[in-house]
């Protein structure tokens, strides 16, 4: 079975064949770092984390680029940059704001077990590349300059709109945006914007001081780090138009090579009460707040309970259910560990062979589901079925073959890990080890205090330890401790 992916460009499932053998280049549009990451962002980045993990599981070597938007993201054509606006409101340097929220973004996504991209290029670090590309677009006749602003001339491309399938006449329909007066055609989009005297973030360019448009940054950073053509480009579906459509227009016009990207993958929205979770709507739950309330791996499980292309509605109940489901999976891991401790070295019985066959079949179902456009809800159904099957089998049997249990344990934990679950073993072990050492430390300290005759303090420690469930018994041979 080969991996199939749904390509927004063709609107179909396609066999996944990377451009360079086993090497896969992935670009996912990164966050605009002017505020806390919310669960909507988490949905998209957890989904792409799963996609990258699955590609690696399938033997590909993935080079993952995810930018940081630190300039140029305007709320509309004539409005202010989101970062500059927020920095002005908070009366701080825009780059200070960027630094704060970029660090917090990484902290949040680390907590969610999202592996960091190989590189996280920042738009402000690529001004020279952008200016060079804009200059080349003007020279080739794809862009024009008016009053220090540079626009992409959409009429120069016959296939503009091929990703979003939006007809030219429909592109501005229903748009609330005010059209920039310097544009020849309302559909044209800004590559470079002129700075006025109040603009804080600005750079020198052949067209005067200004700043780049949002779409040019991703086109340029994609080209720079992944080449003129690469395999996967992703983001949530609101980026299809205009952001990704414009990225294609600019990149293909600069390089003359098509297609810029082989597979376009888009995530569905995370909603709350049926409405897209968004900063601008004020209906968001930050990742930080969610992590106070819910287990990080339960958040992942919730995200994977729906196919990445579909909408997913956030509710407290769904997160609680995900927590209960996560515990079930961990319990299965624990039961397997316990069974391994009392297992025996011997050949498999017929009953064990039959169980091994059922476990392999369910693993096959998991893999097949993931190979069909990363179908996590179906893969999870197979994983939970496997978990049930294991528990049923362990309940029925006394002593089992060690070889079989080890194989099932490895397989079960490998499938969980490819979804970024089961990361806790280690931290739990580390936590338990530290707790053991701390108990010993207090115990030794108390012994020393007693030897020095400082009974008041040593009794206080004993009382506190008892409150924590640790009982200290003083005997003729010395003190001992146990759990109450
Ligand atoms: P932004 O920081 O607004 O540029 O968004 C960063 C990424 O998160 C983009 O791919 C957005 O489309 C995505 N995103 C924002 N809100 C949501 C949401 N409610 N559900 C899914 N993805 C979202
Ligand atoms: Zn982008």
Tens digit of each residue's pLDDT (9 = 90 or more) over 293-348: 999 999 999 999 999 999 999 999 999 999 999 999 999 999 999 999 999 999 99
Ligand 2 centre from 29 Cα, in Å? Answer: 4
Domain that holds residue 463: 426-483
Segment among 90-104, 129-143, 420-434 with least mean pLDDT: 420-434
Q: What's the mean per-residue pLDDT of the chain?
A: 93
Mean of pLDDT values over 168-188: 78
Atom of ligand 1 nearest to the CA of 270: 20
Backbone angles phi, psi at 237, to 5 degrees: -70, -20
Is the distance from the beta carbon of residue 265 to the nearest atom of ligand 1 less than 6 Å? no
Q: How far is the CA of 37 from the centre of ligand 1 (A)?
A: 9
Same domain, 267 and 369: no
3-state secondary structure of 184: coil
DSSP assignment of 429-454, as one string? HHHHHHHHHHHHHHHHHHHHHHHTT-
- Across residues 156-174, what is the average pLDDT? 85
Looking at the fold, whether 432 and 410 belong to one and the same domain comes out as no
CATH number where 33 lies:
3.40.50.620
Query: How far is Cα 283 from Cα 315, in angstroms, rounded to an integer?
Result: 13
Judge if the upstream peptide bond of residue 259 is cis by omega within 30 degrees of 0: yes
CA 251 to chain CA centroid, nearest Å: 25
Same domain, residue pair 405 and 439: no
Same domain, 236 and 260: yes
Q: Which atom of ligand 1 is nearest to the CA of 69?
A: 4
For ligand 1, the distance from its centroid to the CA atom of residue 100, given in whole angstroms, is 19
- What's the gap in Å between 40 CA and the centre of ligand 1? 6
Closest ligand 1 atom to 284 CA: 19
For residues 168-196, one letter each, b for 16 or more C-beta atoms within 10 angstroms of the residue's C-beta and e for the rest, the string is eeebeeeeeeeebebbeeebbbbbbbbbe
Which residue's CA is the nearest one to ligand 1's atom 11?
236
What's the pLDDT score for residue 397? 84
Neighbouring residues of 123: CB distance < 8 A, sequence distance ≥ 6 = 67, 68, 69, 70, 71, 72, 212, 217, 221
212 lines ligand 1 (CB under 6 A): no
69-83, 272-286, 426-440: which has the highest mean pLDDT? 272-286
My answer on whether 200 and 218 are in the same domain is yes
pLDDT at 441: 83
Evaluate: CB of 278 within 6 angstroms of ligand 1: yes
The verdict on 414 and 446 lying in the same domain is no
pLDDT at site 197: 87
- Cβ(31) to ligand 1 under 6 A? yes
- Note the pLDDT of residue 475: 74
Rounded mean pLDDT, 20-28:
97
Ligand nearest to the CA of 34: 1
Residue 430, pLDDT > 60, answer no
The CA-atom distances, in angstroms, between 393 and each of 106, 252, 383, 405 are 42, 57, 15, 11
Distances, alpha carbon 149 to alpha carbons 188, 272, 471, in Å: 12, 39, 75
Pocket of ligand 1 contains residue 268 by CB under 6 Å: no
* pLDDT band per the 50, 70, 90 thresholds, residue 149: very high
Distance 127 CA to ligand 2 centre (A): 15
pLDDT of residue 243: 96
Q: Measure the CA–CA gap between 162 and 340, rounded to whole angstroms.
A: 56
* Residue 437: per-residue pLDDT: 72
Percent of the chain with pLDDT over 90: 79
Residue 69 falls inside a structural domain: yes
Instruction: Select from 32, 34, 77, 54 the least CA-distant residue to 188.
Output: 77
CB 32 less than 6 A from any atom of ligand 1: yes
Residue 327 sits in a domain whose CATH number is: 1.20.120.640
CB atoms within 10 A of CB 2: 8
Q: For residue 274, give the ligand nearest its CA.
A: 1
Rounded CA-CA distance 157/46 in Å is 35
Whole-number Å distance between alpha carbons of 449 and 437: 18
pLDDT value, residue 434: 65
CA distance 24 to 51: 12
Confidence of residue 398 (pLDDT cuts 50, 70, 90): confident
pLDDT in tens, 267-302: 999 999 999 999 989 999 999 999 999 999 999 999
């Amino acid at each position: 079975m080969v991996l199939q992916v749904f390509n927004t460009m063709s609107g179909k499932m396609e066999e996944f064949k990377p451009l360079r053998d086993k090497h896969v280049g992935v670009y996912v549009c990164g966050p605009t770092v002017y505020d806390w990451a919310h669960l909507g962002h988490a949905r998209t980045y957890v989904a792409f984390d799963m996609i990258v993990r699955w590609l690696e599981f399938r033997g590909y070597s993935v080079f993952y680029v995810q930018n940081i938007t630190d300039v140029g993201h305007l709320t509309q054509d004539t409005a202010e940059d989101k970062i500059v606006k927020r920095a002005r409101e908070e009366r701080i340097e825009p780059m200070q704001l960027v630094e704060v929220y970029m660090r917090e973004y990484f902290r949040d996504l680390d907590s969610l077990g999202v592996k960091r991209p190989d590189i996280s290029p920042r738009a402000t670090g690529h001004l020279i590349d952008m200016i060079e590309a804009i200059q080349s677009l003007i020279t080739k006749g794809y862009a024009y300059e008016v009053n220090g602003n540079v626009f992409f001339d959409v009429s120069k491309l016959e296939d503009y709109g091929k990703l979003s399938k939006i007809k030219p006449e429909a592109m501005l329909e229903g748009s609330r945006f005010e059209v920039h007066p310097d544009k020849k055609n309302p559909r044209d989009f800004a590559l470079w914007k002129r700075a006025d005297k109040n603009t804080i973030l600005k750079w020198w360019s052949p067209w005067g001081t200004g700043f780049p448009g949002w779409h040019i940054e991703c086109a340029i950073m994609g080209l720079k780090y992944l080449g003129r053509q690469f395999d996967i480009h992703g983001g949530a579906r609101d980026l299809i138009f205009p952001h990704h459509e414009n990225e294609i227009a600019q990149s293909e016009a600069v390089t003359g090579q098509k297609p810029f990207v082989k597979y376009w993958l888009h995530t569905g929205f995370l909603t709350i009460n049926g409405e897209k979770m968004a900063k601008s709507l004020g209906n968001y739950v930050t990742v930080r707040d969610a992590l106070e309330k819910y287990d990080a791996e339960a958040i992942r499980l919730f995200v994977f309970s729906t196919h990445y292309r579909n909408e997913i509605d956030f509710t407290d109940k769904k997160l609680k259910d995900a927590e209960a489901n996560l515990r079930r999976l961990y319990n299965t891991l624990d039961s397997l560990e316990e069974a391994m401790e009392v297992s025996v070295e011997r050949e498999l019985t017929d009953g064990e062979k039959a169980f091994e066959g059922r476990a392999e079949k369910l693993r096959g179902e998991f893999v097949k589901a993931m190979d069909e456009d990363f179908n996590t809800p179906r893969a999870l159904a197979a994983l939970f079925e496997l978990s049930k099957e294991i528990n049923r089998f362990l309940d029925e049997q006394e002593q089992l073959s060690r070889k079989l249990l080890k194989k099932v344990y490895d397989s079960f934990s490998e499938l969980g890990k490819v979804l970024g679950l089961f990361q806790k073993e280690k931290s739990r072990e580390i936590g338990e080890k530290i707790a053991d050492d701390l108990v010993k430390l207090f115990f030794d300290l108390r012994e020393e205090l007693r030897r020095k005759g400082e009974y008041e303090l040593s009794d206080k420690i004993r009382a506190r330890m008892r409150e924590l469930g640790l009982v200290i018994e003083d005997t003729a041979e010395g003190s001992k401790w146990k759990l109450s």
